[in-house]
Structure 1
Amino acid sequence: MGAPYYQFCPVAKAMELLDERWTMLLLRELLLGTEHFNELRRGLPRMSPTLLSHRLDQLQRAGLLERLVEGSDVRYILTPAGAELRPVVEQLSAWGVRWIGELGDADLDPKLLLWDMHRNIDHTAVPPVRTVISLHFTDATPAQRRWWLVIHDGDADVCDADPGYDVSVGVRCSLRALTRFWRGDIEWTTLLVAEDATTTGPSHLRRALPSWFTRPGYAAVPRVPADGLATAALAP
């Protein structure tokens, strides 16, 4: 628990638990259905394992999640109290995408982007055979430039080394452009035309590619004009 505010206001009481660093992002991951420690780490790559364990213990003691152990399998499941925070997190994401401005370079992370994309695949839309998407990010560092998504049998893997399978579709674009598409800032056609992106592979697969993914709900949130963004107010 964070430092007490010593106020009877329910906002103050809630924030004593929720306003500690990483807590709301951890809840975001749990609300997205992530249940295992290592998968939580992949969704929160800059959170230390020690702090993650500590936050999970805090949420368990506060009654927001349960720790279920079945042999060597340990899962973290939200209780009704934790699940009730879903609209709070969804409204925060909608507010953030509507009012907070452009992304900084430090906000761009190919591993995190592809991890989010891999758990939002519409497996009914993907061909019923192993489908491999290769991605080349033109603005990433050499170590983070090449990635692969391997989709097969209702599952998907994110690879930072060539998995050795034939590539179904290749995408070459900037990391910033694909991130903007995923957030709903631009559409796929804009990414291909205005962002100088290219795709390779059979034409029917290249056309179908964007339909293989379901973007997060906040991607559909209407944006405000650039001059109304909160960026200026947040600047030092």
Structure 2
Amino acid sequence: MTSYGQFCPVAKAMELLDERWTILVVRELLLGSRHFNELRRGVPKMSPALLTKRLRGLERAGVVRRSEVGGRSVYTLTDKGEELTEVVTALSAWGTRWIGELGDADLDPHLLMWDIHRTVPIDRWPRRRTMVEFDFRDVIGKEGSWWLVVSDGEAQVCDVNPGYDIDATVVTDLRTLTEVWRGDIDWRTALREDRITVLAQADVRRDVPEWIGQSMASAIPRPA
């Protein structure tokens, strides 16, 4: 851990939190990830070895607690860690308002689909098992196709077709869906400009934007 050599509380906090990926690991824990593989899906560009190192560092600092349940490690935030909720929320709001430009390196179908699946408004979906396919026309290979399944009140995202009937296919590019999810543009605009096409029966086609929705950050006001 790097020392700034200052008594300032901000400096002392950042000695722990400004290590690469650390605050994003905390973000994932705040969003409900509990197992190592869940954490990895939220930080897909982070190596397993570095994730292990960061988790151990957060344990030593008293921010994370590790327990064993059914032979699996479960990671949860301590009271000390939960106090970072306001910090992460404030960073998210500030980044949404003032750091809006996305480079190509910032676009990641793994993180996008993982984030979508954990916050889709499940109550708006049909009560039967429903599957929506996502076809990213600009992403080459298997990462260009994803499937979101909602069944029994739970959402699951798959990078391999699970074989269920497809209720709708969303055809778009990775940047457009990322911008819609973040709230940079809305579904209506993306559909009107043919940046997103929904292939489905008319009633389903109308409902898909409500099924998917937008991220929590989309409600944050932007500067004029």
Question: Considering the TM-score relative to the shorter chain, is it more than 0.5?
Answer: yes
TM-score class, shorter: over 0.9
- Structure 1 equivalent of residue 128 of structure 2: 129
Measured against aligned partners, the alpha-carbon deviations of 1:20-50 in whole angstroms (never above 9, x if no partner) come to 0000000000000111001000111111111
Normalised by the length of structure 1, the TM-score is 0.90
Displacement of 1:169: 1.1
Q: 3-state DSSP class of the match of 1:53?
A: helix
Measured against aligned partners, the alpha-carbon deviations of 1:90-135 in whole angstroms (never above 9, x if no partner) come to 1111111111132111111112111100001222211111111011
Most deviating of 170-179 and 190-199? 190-199
Q: Any runs of at least 4 consecutive aligned residues in structure 1 with deviations exceeding 3 A, and if so which?
A: none
- Unaligned runs of 5+ residues in structure 1 are 226-236
- Structure 2 equivalent of residue 101 of structure 1: 100
May I ask how many residue pairs the two structures share in their alignment? 224
Displacement of 1:148: 1.2
Q: 3-state DSSP class of the match of 1:124?
A: helix
- Structure 2 equivalent of residue 208 of structure 1: 207
Overall identity of the aligned pairs, in %: 53
1:177 maps to 2:176: yes
Q: Which amino acid aligns with 2:75?
A: Y
Counterpart contact for 1:113–1:179, Cα < 8 Å: yes
Q: Which amino acid aligns with 1:121?
A: V
Counterpart contact for 2:122–2:155, Cα < 8 Å: no
Q: 3-state DSSP class of the match of 1:119?
A: helix
Displacement of 1:12: 0.7
- Structure 1 equivalent of residue 197 of structure 2: 198
Distance 2:212 2:90 in 1: 22
1:59 maps to 2:58: yes
Counterpart contact for 2:120–2:213, Cα < 8 Å: yes
Q: Which amino acid aligns with 2:11?
A: A
Counterpart contact for 2:113–2:157, Cα < 8 Å: yes
Distance 2:15 2:176 in 1: 37
Displacement of 1:214: 5.0
Taking the TM superposition and a 5 Å limit, the aligned residue runs for 1:142-161 are 142-161=141-160
Distance 2:108 2:5 in 1: 39
- Structure 1 equivalent of residue 137 of structure 2: 138
Counterpart contact for 1:146–1:160, Cα < 8 Å: yes
Distance 2:215 2:124 in 1: 17
Counterpart contact for 1:177–1:195, Cα < 8 Å: no
Q: Which amino acid aligns with 1:98?
A: R
Distance 1:214 1:116, change over 3 A: same
Q: 3-state DSSP class of the match of 1:133?
A: strand
Taking the TM superposition and a 5 Å limit, the aligned residue runs for 1:12-91 are 12-91=11-90
Normalised by the length of structure 2, the TM-score is 0.95
Q: Which amino acid aligns with 2:139?
A: A
